[in-house]
Each structure stands twice: as C-alpha cells, then as structure tokens.
Amino acid sequence: MNFEFNDDQRMLRDQARRFLMDKSPPEVVRETLETEQPYDRDLWRQFGEMGWLGAAIPEAYGGSGMGHLELCVLAEELGRALAPTPYASSIYLGAEALLTAGSEDQKQNYLPDLATGATIWCLALSEGSRPATESNIVAEVSDGKLTGEKLPVADGDVADRAIVVAREGTSSGLFIVDLNGAGVMRQTVDTMDPTRSQARLTFADAGAEKLGDDGWPLLERIQDRAAVLMAFEQIGGAQACLEMAKEYALGRFAFGRPIAGYQAIKHRLADMYIQIELARSNAYYGAWALSTNAAELPVAAATARVAAIEAFNFAARENVQVHGGMGFTWEFNCHLYYRRARQLALVLGSQRRWKDRLIRALERRNAA
C-alpha cells in the first residue's frame, strides 16, 4: 500500500510552493484582477521554461515526461497560489485532449508548442444558458468549416487554439480550431474571477480539424481527466483558506482572547479540515486512476470533483466568515479565493451535473 506521493513528488511540491510564493504572491494575482491584463505572461513563460506545462507530456512531444502524479502535485500548488494563468484550459483540457485522442501528426504538430507555452489552448463547449448536453449543441461543422457561438469559453480570449464541441451530420465531434485564423471573433466577458478570463467565441466558417472519432464520449473522457487535476487545484485553494483563517483567528482578539479559542470558530475550522481531508483523499484516488488509466476513472473523477467543489466552496466561504468584516473588504485576500472557488465550481460543469454523472457511472458499474 502506497497511497501518498513519493519523495521526488514531494520535492517537486516544495520547489513549486517556494517558486509560487516568490513569483505569484497575492500582489501578482491582483495585477491580473485589477488591470486589463488577462493573465500573467511572465509567470506563464517561466512555467514553460521549468517544464511545468509539459509535465505529463512525453519527451517525444517536447514535454518533460514527468507524469500525471507530478501534474497533480503542480495543480495543487497552482491552486494554493491562485496562479493567474491559463494553465487549466491549456494543460488539463488542451494537452489531455491531444494526448487522449490526437493522431500521431496532431501530437507532433501541437504538443511541443503547448509544452513550451508558445501556444495556449482552451475547450469551447457551453453555448449560453442551456445546459451543455449533446442534444443542446448547435455549433456545427460541415465540410471542415465551423459555424456557431460558444459562451463562456475559459481563457478563450487569450488562447491560440480551441477544441470545439460541435455537431457534424447526425453526431457530435471535437474539432481543433485556430483562433487566430479567419472566421473567428472573440470578445472578453466580465466574470466573477478575472484572474481566469472568459470569452464569447463566434465562428463563421472557421477552419476545423477533427480530433478523435468519439465525439461526446471522448469529451467525457477528457473532462474526467481534467476533473481530477482541477480537484487538486481546488484542494490547494481550500487548504490556503484554512491556513489563512487559522492565522487570522489566532491573531484576532475579541472579548479578551484569541477568537481561535472559541468553539464556534474551532468547530468551523475543524469542519474545513474535515471537508479538505475527504476531498484530498478522494483526489488521491482520482490521481491513481488518472495515472494508471484505470477503468475506475469515471467514478473516481466524479467523486473527486464533487468533493473538491464542496471543500473549496466551504473553505472559501467560511474563511471570509472567520475574518469578519475585514474578510469582506477588497483589501483582504479572502475574496480572491472566494472568487476562484466559485469559478472552479462551474468551469468544468456544475456540481449538480457531476453528481448526476457520478450516479450514472455507478449505475453502469453496477450493471456490468
């Protein structure tokens, strides 16, 4: 039984934590939050140089070939530091999609630039207010040309390429679209968490290249992989919230003593710890399933995502509460995590949808 990260992976975590404390402190996160800059280009470039973007991309395609467990380790640290970069879109979704379904040519063509950070990728699925289901997809590809509108697309304003879910004939498919090419319009939209920007993408006969043959089932496989990685990001964020709340409660005196000594606060922090430990344990199982391509991945991924959403929502929300009025100010950093928690809870699909997906996966497993 070995259900922990190994020494090398823990060393990577320590390095990543130190690097991000230095390069992505709250002041840096705020530059992206408070200005028009969509993400931190300098940070992104350094991720590429350190091999973080290609952590799970084999060396044959320009990656550093570390593996998915290492990617999980990095994801947790990026979440803890709120790193304002398009990492999730480009790596959890873009790179994973190419690794999962790309042809040899596509991998050769696209992965090396993705691994250096020279090109940014995103996933374009949602089409506005209707839930993203296969039958609700209107965007359509015919004769290799894509027409339709996607809203919102995480990091769609800064990405170079999108993987677009669209109809083709009677079925759905995934298509690679060059967002810098003809027939693509993009518009940044205002969001709750500007440190991860969102866009409206409009396609009018944009060139579209097929990715894989499976359409919707392929999309779900990619989402499963991204859900595990995202769960680590959420746990990193939740853990940071617990630590902030604890530090504040220890230093804040009321009625003559630290508020950390009152049970109302202690039990709240204990509950944060409980939620995080459950989510972390589920994420570890997801990491195992992801790194071994286990048949359990759909169940493990949905479990990890539902738990991670719960944990980060709870920790971010209660962190504000423990900070009292100061937690509600722009000046304190609580709202950075609160925004991010809300964003990550929806960006791969809501908890409600993932709970349903979890039960579906359990029904399938039970029928088998």
Partner 1 sequence: MDFTDTPEEAAFRAKARDFLSANAAAKKSGSSNLATGWNKDEALAAARAWQAKKAAAGFAGITMPEEYGGQGLPPITQVIYNQEEANYVAPRGVYEIGLGMCIPTMLAYATEEQKQRYAPPALRGEEIWCQLFSEPAGGSDLAGLRTRAEQDGDDWIINGQKIWTSGAQFSDYAILVTRSDFDVPKHKGLTFFFLSMKSPGIEVRPIKQMSGAANFNEVYFSDVRIPDRQRLGAVGDGWKVSLTTLMNERFAVGVAPPPDFDEIFDLVRDTELEDGPALDNAMVRDRLADWYVRQQGLKNAHFRTMTALSRGDTPGPESSINKVVSAFKYQEVSFFGMEMQEMLGVITDPDIIAMDGLFQTGALSSPGYRIAGGTDEILRNIIAERVLGLPQDVRVDKEVAFRDLPTGRD
**Of the two residues 20 and 304, which places its CB atom closer to partner 1 in the complex?**
304
My answer on whether omega of the bond before 152 falls inside 30° of 0, hence cis, is yes
**Of the two residues 20 and 269, which places its CB atom closer to partner 1 in the complex?**
269
- In whole angstroms, the minimum distance from the beta carbon of 359 to partner 1 comes to 5
Give the count of beta carbons closer than 10 Å to the beta carbon of residue 294: 14
Token output for 315: 């920790």
- In whole angstroms, the minimum distance from the beta carbon of 232 to partner 1 comes to 13
Distance, first Cα to last Cα, the chain: 27
- In whole angstroms, the minimum distance from the beta carbon of 318 to partner 1 comes to 13
**Of the two residues 273 and 332, which places its CB atom closer to partner 1 in the complex?**
273
| C-alpha to C-alpha distance for 86 and 122, rounded to whole angstroms | 8
**Of the two residues 213 and 247, which places its CB atom closer to partner 1 in the complex?**
247
- Contact residues for partner 1 (CB under 8 A)? 1-5, 69, 242, 246, 249-250, 257-258, 260-263, 265-267, 269-271, 273-274, 277-279, 281-282, 284-285, 287-288, 291, 302-303, 306-307, 310, 352, 354-356, 358-359, 362-363, 366
| C-alpha to C-alpha distance for 193 and 118, rounded to whole angstroms | 24
**Of the two residues 45 and 252, which places its CB atom closer to partner 1 in the complex?**
252
**Of the two residues 110 and 285, which places its CB atom closer to partner 1 in the complex?**
285
CA 9 → CA 6, 14, 51, 66, 290, distances in Å? 5, 9, 14, 10, 16
- In whole angstroms, the minimum distance from the beta carbon of 282 to partner 1 comes to 5
Q: 282 exposed, middle or buried (CB, 10 Å; 0-12, 13-18, 19+)?
A: buried
| C-alpha to C-alpha distance for 175 and 181, rounded to whole angstroms | 14
Query: Nearest to residue 333, comparing CAs of 24, 86, 58, 8?
Result: 24
- In whole angstroms, the minimum distance from the beta carbon of 209 to partner 1 comes to 35
In the chain, the amino acid numbered 340 is R
- In whole angstroms, the minimum distance from the beta carbon of 61 to partner 1 comes to 24
